[in-house]
Amino acid sequence: MRPMIAPSFLSADLFRLGEQLAACEAADADMLHLDIMDGHFVPNLSYGPGLVRALRANTPLMLDCHLMVSRPEDFVQPFLDAGADLVSFHLEASHHPDRLLGLIRDAGKRAAIALNPATDPAPLRYLASKLDMVLLMTVNPGFGGQRFLPAMLHKIRQTRALLQEAGCEALIQVDGGIDEVHGAECVTAGADVLVSGSWLFKHNPLANGFEILRATGK
Ligand code: DX5
Ligand code: ZN
């Protein structure tokens, strides 16, 4: 099955955001992946709800907000208000993940849990009824351009089995170090959505990179 492609806007050229947005639309991106970093949960800063609001006013693309923040309870609502369609927050950062997933769902949006590389997926079985997607980090979160962690392939298979057992049809998204080789491995292991930043944005035209990643599902 052909995977969905989520370009990570963290790798977009900040001086040409409008142009890069148009290129993502032209390439039929399945969603736009927005990495929100707070300098606390991860050692880096990116952007806040302001960018999401500006994008919302200018694109029909699904806005996929990956919150790499401590206290996601304080930040989910502002991103929903700004126009996020899908919100993922980290299990490691949340005291009440079930409640937070419910809050996102009650707003009519899609809810996802993100897991760091060293986090066991087993607790997902208790959240399965409220999950639209699981984001498996395939690098340590915080920066684009890092190397894919091969041990995550087993975790993708494990997560797929666990979700199936729970009767949950949530998508599995992989994020970090995705290129054509690792993208293909992830799709074979059971991933549905490939996030790609530094590798994808190297392509000119951008649509060529999308083509290559989509072909990993053949
Ligand atoms: C990392 C972010 C990723 C990152 C992916 O913390 O969650 O979305 O932008 O970038 P690449 O594809 O360069 O690893
Ligand atoms: Zn991300």
pLDDT tens track for 179-212:
999 999 999 999 999 999 999 999 999 999 999 9
Structure tokens at 50: 């302001």
Q: Is 209 in the pocket of ligand 1 (CB under 6 A)?
A: no
9 CA to centre of ligand 1 in angstroms: 9
Burial bucket for residue 204 (CB in 10 Å: 0-12, 13-18, 19+): exposed
Give, rounded to a whole angstrom, the gap between the first and last alpha carbons of the chain.
6
183 CA to centre of ligand 2 in angstroms: 15
Give strand pairing partners of 68: 37
pLDDT tens track for 169-179:
999 999 999 99
Annotation says 175 is catalytic: yes
3-state secondary structure of 62: coil
pLDDT tens track for 52-101:
999 999 999 999 999 999 999 999 999 999 999 999 999 999 999 999 99
Closest atom of ligand 1 relative to the 11 alpha carbon:
9
Q: What is the mean pLDDT of residues 141-145?
A: 98
Residues 6+ apart with CB under 8 A from 208: none
205 CA to centre of ligand 2 in angstroms: 22
